[in-house]
Structure 1
Amino acid sequence: MNNFLKRMNYYYDKVLDEIDAGVHVVDEGGNTVIYNRKMAEIEGMAKAEVLYKNLHDVFSFEHNEESRLLEAVEKGIKIENAKQSYYNNQGLEITTVNHTLPIFFENERIGAMEIARDITRLEKLIRENRQQREETRFTFQSIIGHSPAITEVIEASKRATRTDSSILIIGDTGTGKELFAQSIHNASERAHKPFISQNCAAIPDNLIEGLLFGTKKGAFTGAIERPGLFEEAEGGTLLLDEINSLNIHLQAKLLRVLQEKKVRRVGDTRDRSFNVRIIATINEDPIDAITNGHLRKDLYYRLGVVSLSIPPLKERREDIEELVYHFIHKYNEKFAMGVKDIDSSLLSNLFHYEWPGNVRELEHLIEGAMNLIEYEESITYHHLPFHYRHRLQSQPFLKKEKVFDHPVDSNKQEHIGHTLNDYLTKAERHFIQQALIRNQHHITNTAKELGMSRQNLQYRIKKHRLT
């Protein structure tokens, strides 16, 4: 008999853990007695953190809300397809749609059970979209650069603001495609209406259809009545970022929606008309995307009524200096700093770099450098994040910073205008660095050669960032 019970318990545990829904059961005192693997995944906790513990000791709820499980236990009520947000023991927010009901044994209420579907990610995406709608701040004045390559695209984009035609923006990652999309929206007659952006690569296929088109209550387990992005963007602009990441079958549904200008929520039978301008972006050549099966040809023709190609940074190098000083100004304000300049030899190196991450990569480099500045007013090679120092040094055509070769050569014109403190700081740094190289970075031997203590040397190594 004991062996039979063991086998039955094994079957029971195995079935519970394979169910693709969270299962949570509490006794009449609100203590967890059953908690399956899926529920643990949804709530981001180990079973041991929840089993046999009271719900109040593990979870917290906002605005004096009560756990639906405890409501079912205490009031004996059944709650179907209800959304609830709460926090686990680490403060992580969780949102689920639950089917909750009391459990009776011989007419006595002995607990409650809950079957949960996770919609945490979907709720986060919806909040992000609403936040983006409030932060649509970029205009054409926000686009930095006066090179012929970027000026041509700006002029074409301004002309596109006069109509409602679909736009396809083509460009590598980091070139500023969304900046152009927001600028077009804000310069158009739709500027006072919503601008909603959705990255098609950011969400799984099983969520994006409901997010785009909306859902009807009861369409699937946990589905609630919710408008999609087409409805939320009514009268405004919907940006579909990285359209080539969208499932090819979903692209066919999207094409139908664009052609008919009507959207049908998932699980619904009613079509809803919409008035939305579509802007899509793609981070590869559209012809390559079609050839590789990433983009439907008919969808390309529908979206590419107006096509804008954003040049990579390596094709507009004359804009690099202006961008650098723009980002210095931006992070001066953000970090309350007073950086005024960038070393001329470093700037020259930046002109020759290939910039695979484009303008976004340049911005991150300046931000990273300014995080390493203490009191200096100029960004130098030594302020760059380590991986950039290595990457720039590995480029054979780049000049190395002059401080390594002749930091104290009094005949060099580069020292004119520098303060004595700047001059002495460079000299000290170079002197210590050469001693470290000679001693293969052995601290004791280097300190002995320089006639100073290990502590003093380590302080100066840290000061000059020679590690």
Structure 2
Amino acid sequence: MGMDLIFSKENMEKILDHVEEGIEMIDARGRIIYLNKAATEYEDIRREEAIGKYMLDIYPSLAPETSTLLRAIQKGIPTFDIQQTFLNYKGKKITTINSSFPIKVKQKIIGAIEISKNITDVKELSEKVVALQEQLLSKGKNRKKKDEGDSAKYTFFDIVGKSKEITKVKGLAMKAAQTSSPVLIYGETGTGKELFVHAMHTASTRRNKPFIAQNCGALPGTLLESILFGTIKGSFTGADNRAGLFELANSGTLFLDEINSMPLELQVKLLRVLQDGTIRRVGDSKTRKVDVRIVAASNEEPFVAVENKRLRRDLYYRLNVVGLRLPELKERSGDMPILVKYFVDRFNNQLNKTVKKVSDEVVEIFENYDWPGNVRELEHIIEGAMNLMDGEEITVDCLPMHFEKYNRKNLEKTMDIKNVPLKTALQNLEIEMIRKTLKEWNGNISHAAEGLEIPRQTLQYKIKKYKIKRE
């Protein structure tokens, strides 16, 4: 079969119709010559109605200066990740993030192609959340002082545990709460990062001021920028004058979760805020002073994020004025029975249950289990067990099936543990499982981590800890 047949126009169109992103092409005069299925669906137009029409007839709210596709023809240079809000000819409002490329033949521009991602629903929802936060904060300013500052829900009393590991980090967090310096918190999934940030805010002098949280990994970079810094009318097509989260959090605390997911170019703007306390709305030439205490969290070891270029080195040093590492559940010696009792009591109230006991076998399984999801996983396991059980005791039968291999009977089947401490036996089993899985995947850490059902960073840590060679 010849290559020209494989890449025929019909075959290429069939392939592009299965791409999630919208793809649109125009000729040198700005007439639409191609749209794939995704573009027709989110722009709510029929392909036969658009093909051959001039761009601005289909998108009347755009202009030659604001259409990213037409600008690609005019300027002859590609642009990347440009946010654009427009109305199609049916009056439907759409927001996309576009990357546009001129098409040249012998240095002559014959058209342009654009790849776009529809973020209409995400943008509308994000703006509604920001507007709601603004309304709540506005109402809060009119309330009596004793009723203010309830936007952070937790205190240090809500952080359950008495182990040396959790007590130490709570003490450091309490001291950090009394300052306005930036804080960088690192912890695996489910270790309680947001709980600590809430507690630090309520223990600080900013407790009666706004507390706002934003997950940096939940939004595309260009949308995250406008949500954080705000916009001015005309900064991009469809933009309005809108305050961002930095302005809404003024005098209070802004929590940036998954900071390692923030685009590097946006991290530069965040660094500027940390250095001089000013922000600039998207498209604005005016700077605005803000007084915001920034607390950032990473679910990846910060040095690893820096080395892998997911976190700028200069931003890391500026954020890490106070650095807190939250211990994993398996590191919190003695906290398991306290946490189990806490969650059983809580779900007794929520589910109207009368659970009084957790069987010895379940306790032993909990002590042996690795808890990759940490405290959050323990919480969900207990909630699930109590939803399904009858009686007053949580037994092994109430647990998910994958817990069975962690009870003593099954452990004894896999290895001889006579005259060997349980901790040593479990460690040996863990090392053997890691070695075996790494061998199966030819040393590929990502695939091995998936096979072991643990985070990649956790596997890297264990390989280093046990000095395991990747075969």
TM-score bucket (shorter structure):
0.5 to 0.7
Alignment correspondent of 2:120: 119
Structure 1 CA distance for aligned equivalents of residues 179 and 93 of structure 2: 49
SS in 2 for 1:329: helix
Residues 1:394 and 1:238: Cα distance change in structure 2 (over 3 Å): farther
Residues 1:382 and 1:126: Cα distance change in structure 2 (over 3 Å): farther
Residues 1:323 and 1:115: Cα distance change in structure 2 (over 3 Å): closer
Q: How does 1:170-185 map to 2 (within 5 A)?
A: 170-185=186-201
- Asked if the contact 1:242/1:281 (under 8 Å) is kept, the reply is yes
Q: How does 1:45-64 map to 2 (within 5 A)?
A: none
Deviation at 1:358, TM superposition (A): 0.7
Alignment correspondent of 1:99: 87
- Asked if the contact 1:352/1:398 (under 8 Å) is kept, the reply is no
Residues 1:332 and 1:135: Cα distance change in structure 2 (over 3 Å): farther
Q: Does 1:145 align with 2:161?
A: yes
Structure 1 CA distance for aligned equivalents of residues 176 and 330 of structure 2: 26
Deviation at 1:286, TM superposition (A): 1.8
Structure 2 CA distance for aligned equivalents of residues 311 and 201 of structure 1: 23
CA offset digits 1:385-426 (Å, max 9, x no partner) = 233345668972699xxxxxxxxxxxxxxxxxxxxxxxxxxx
CA offset digits 1:40-99 (Å, max 9, x no partner) = 6448x9979xx9xxxxxxxxxxxxxxxxxxxxxxxxxx9899xxxxxxxxxxxxxx9653
Q: Does 1:381 align with 2:382?
A: no
Alignment correspondent of 2:202: 186
| TM-score normalized by the length of structure 1 | 0.62
RMSD after superposition: 3.5
Alignment correspondent of 2:327: 311
Deviation at 1:337, TM superposition (A): 1.5
Unmatched 5+ residue regions in structure 1?
1-10, 21-34, 52-77, 82-95, 102-111, 400-467
CA offset digits 1:247-267 (Å, max 9, x no partner) = 122111211122121100111
Alignment correspondent of 1:104: none
Q: Does 1:160 align with 2:176?
A: yes
Structure 1 CA distance for aligned equivalents of residues 37 and 91 of structure 2: 15
Residues 1:189 and 1:393: Cα distance change in structure 2 (over 3 Å): same
Residue 176 of structure 1 aligns with an amino acid whose one-letter code is G
Structure 2 CA distance for aligned equivalents of residues 41 and 356 of structure 1: 40
- Asked if the contact 1:161/1:188 (under 8 Å) is kept, the reply is yes
- Asked if the contact 2:369/2:406 (under 8 Å) is kept, the reply is no
- Asked if the contact 1:181/1:239 (under 8 Å) is kept, the reply is yes
Structure 2 CA distance for aligned equivalents of residues 37 and 186 of structure 1: 50
Residues 1:115 and 1:156: Cα distance change in structure 2 (over 3 Å): closer
Question: Which of 361, 378, 384 does residue 345 from structure 1 map onto?
Answer: 361
Structure 1 CA distance for aligned equivalents of residues 223 and 408 of structure 2: 45
Q: For the pair shown, which has the larger CA radius of gyration, 1 or 2?
A: 1
Deviation at 1:231, TM superposition (A): 0.7
Q: How does 1:6-21 map to 2 (within 5 A)?
A: 18-19=23-24
Alignment correspondent of 1:396: 411
Residues 1:135 and 1:390: Cα distance change in structure 2 (over 3 Å): farther
Alignment correspondent of 1:331: 347
Deviation at 1:212, TM superposition (A): 1.1
Structure 1 CA distance for aligned equivalents of residues 258 and 413 of structure 2: 34
Alignment correspondent of 2:220: 204
Structure 2 CA distance for aligned equivalents of residues 314 and 121 of structure 1: 37
SS in 1 for 2:179: coil
Alignment correspondent of 1:245: 261
Residues 1:42 and 1:366: Cα distance change in structure 2 (over 3 Å): farther
Structure 1 CA distance for aligned equivalents of residues 85 and 346 of structure 2: 42
Residue 120 of structure 1 aligns with an amino acid whose one-letter code is D
Structure 2 CA distance for aligned equivalents of residues 256 and 207 of structure 1: 19
Residues 1:113 and 1:204: Cα distance change in structure 2 (over 3 Å): closer
Residue 122 of structure 1 aligns with an amino acid whose one-letter code is K
Structure 1 CA distance for aligned equivalents of residues 85 and 309 of structure 2: 36
Residue 263 of structure 1 aligns with an amino acid whose one-letter code is I
CA offset digits 1:181-208 (Å, max 9, x no partner) = 0000001111111111111111111211
Deviation at 1:228, TM superposition (A): 1.0
Structure 2 CA distance for aligned equivalents of residues 42 and 234 of structure 1: 37
Deviation at 1:128, TM superposition (A): 4.7
Q: How does 1:31-70 map to 2 (within 5 A)?
A: 37=37, 41-42=41-42
CA offset digits 1:267-309 (Å, max 9, x no partner) = 1111111011000011222222211112111101111111111
Question: Which of 237, 241, 247 does residue 225 from structure 1 map onto?
Answer: 241
SS in 2 for 1:116: strand
Deviation at 1:369, TM superposition (A): 0.8
Alignment correspondent of 1:354: 370
Q: How does 1:420-459 map to 2 (within 5 A)?
A: none
Structure 1 CA distance for aligned equivalents of residues 61 and 212 of structure 2: 33
Task: Give aligned pairs, total.
Answer: 320
Q: How does 1:69-108 map to 2 (within 5 A)?
A: 98-99=86-87
Structure 2 CA distance for aligned equivalents of residues 283 and 357 of structure 1: 12
- Asked if the contact 1:168/1:305 (under 8 Å) is kept, the reply is yes
SS in 2 for 1:339: coil
Percent of pairs identical after alignment? 44
- Asked if the contact 2:405/2:411 (under 8 Å) is kept, the reply is no
Question: Which of 278, 285, 295 does residue 269 from structure 1 map onto?
Answer: 285
Residues 1:297 and 1:395: Cα distance change in structure 2 (over 3 Å): farther
Structure 1 CA distance for aligned equivalents of residues 254 and 171 of structure 2: 22
Structure 1 CA distance for aligned equivalents of residues 120 and 353 of structure 2: 42
Alignment correspondent of 1:441: none
Residues 1:380 and 1:233: Cα distance change in structure 2 (over 3 Å): same
CA offset digits 1:139-192 (Å, max 9, x no partner) = 000000000100011111111121111111111111001100000000111111
SS in 2 for 1:349: helix
- Asked if the contact 1:331/1:337 (under 8 Å) is kept, the reply is yes
Structure 1 CA distance for aligned equivalents of residues 356 and 294 of structure 2: 41
Deviation at 1:371, TM superposition (A): 1.8
SS in 1 for 2:94: strand
| TM-score normalized by the length of structure 2 | 0.61
Structure 2 CA distance for aligned equivalents of residues 151 and 207 of structure 1: 39
Deviation at 1:36, TM superposition (A): 8.9
- Asked if the contact 1:19/1:38 (under 8 Å) is kept, the reply is no
Deviation at 1:226, TM superposition (A): 1.4
Structure 1 CA distance for aligned equivalents of residues 198 and 271 of structure 2: 23
SS in 2 for 1:281: strand
Residue 367 of structure 1 aligns with an amino acid whose one-letter code is E
Unmatched 5+ residue regions in structure 2?
1-12, 17-21, 26-34, 50-59, 64-83, 96-118, 138-149, 415-471
